[in-house]
Amino acid sequence: MIPMEGGGYTAPGIEDFQFTGLFGTDWITKPMVQAVIAAIIVIVVWVVAARRLRVVPTKGQYLMELLYEFIRNSVGRDILGPGFRPYLGLLVGLFTYLLLNNWFGEFFLFMFPTMSNIGYSWGAVVLVLFIYVWAGFRKHGIGYLRKALIPEGVPWYLYIIIIPVEFLSAFITRPLTLGVRLFANMFAGHLAVVVFVVGGSYLLTQADGIVLKVGGGVALLFSILFMLFEMFIGALQAYIFTILTAQYISSSISESH
């Protein structure tokens, strides 16, 4: 970028998403610690929130109820319909877990969205895949395969070209797009923030000339705006992930589509 003597500017890249092991191991990494912390927080917060229920809710209880009812009404009832109850815990847990992990990208101490390491997205996706396949088998028995692979009203001589496409769509590309969407959004957002922060502070401290310094300062200020935007994206992606999970379960357990 700007030629400087001694050192110089290195643009942020995928190296910012790779971590070395902590505590002398090579498998405990920062994203992993974050994922565990998020899981602990989600469990503790919901257990505590569910323990001390009052008829007249406290402020904290009111907030948790708001969150719970938001998922129950907009995801559970609207998408899954009358049989939403068994999956409500999953949906609420999944949403809060992803929300927390995505927001870690904007919190001090962490400053890294866990799901921008694609392996963690795949973890969530594999869970969802297992659950909607299991839900289908539980509801329809072996007939779930027929329901998932053969749409109604397709003549039998088309089965041979239809079934592979249906199989790919239901069990491969659905989870694939689910995972890539979450990962790519978090990855790109975090990379953009890092570019603004690193580039801005480099210009501010290293570059010569008042114009470049001012540009660096503006970039730094803008990065704060961008982080707020990232918080919105993080919440949106957690919500979309939850909605699609409900949608996949719903398509597994619906009587006919």
Partner 1 sequence: MKEKTATSTPTEGRDQGMMIFSYLLAGIGLYGGLGWLGDHFWQTSFLLPIGMILGMAISIYLVIKRYGSAT
Which is it for the CA torsion 206, 212, 215, 219, positive or negative?
negative
Q: Is 164 in the site for partner 1 (CB under 8 A)?
A: yes
In angstroms, give the least distance from the CB of 153 to partner 1.
Answer: 6
Name which of 29 and 247 has its Cβ closer to partner 1. 247
Name which of 4 and 172 has its Cβ closer to partner 1. 172
Stretch near partner 1 under the rule CB under 8 A, chosen from 24-32, 118-126, 186-194, 243-251: 243-251
Distance CA 2, CA 28 (A): 37
Q: Is 131 in the site for partner 1 (CB under 8 A)?
A: no
Considering only CA atoms, give the Rg of the chain: 23
Q: Is 152 in the site for partner 1 (CB under 8 A)?
A: yes
Q: Which residues within the stretch 44-103 sit at the binding site for partner 1 (CB under 8 A)?
A: 74, 78-79, 81
Decide: helix, strand or coil at residue 107.
coil
236 CB neighbour count, 10 Å cutoff = 13
In angstroms, give the least distance from the CB of 149 to partner 1.
Answer: 11
Q: Is 172 in the site for partner 1 (CB under 8 A)?
A: yes
Q: What are phi and psi of 2, to 5 degrees?
A: -110, 115
Selected binder of partner 1 within 169, 188, 211, 228 (CB under 8 A): 169
Q: How far is CA 229 from CA 31, 146, 223, in A?
A: 22, 44, 10
Token representation of residue 209: 């000339």
Decide: helix, strand or coil at residue 38.
helix
Q: Is 151 in the site for partner 1 (CB under 8 A)?
A: yes
Q: Is 244 in the site for partner 1 (CB under 8 A)?
A: yes
Q: Amino acid identity of 145?
A: L
Residues near partner 1 (CB under 8 A): 74, 78-79, 81, 151-154, 161-162, 164-166, 168-169, 172-174, 176-177, 243-244, 247, 251, 256-257
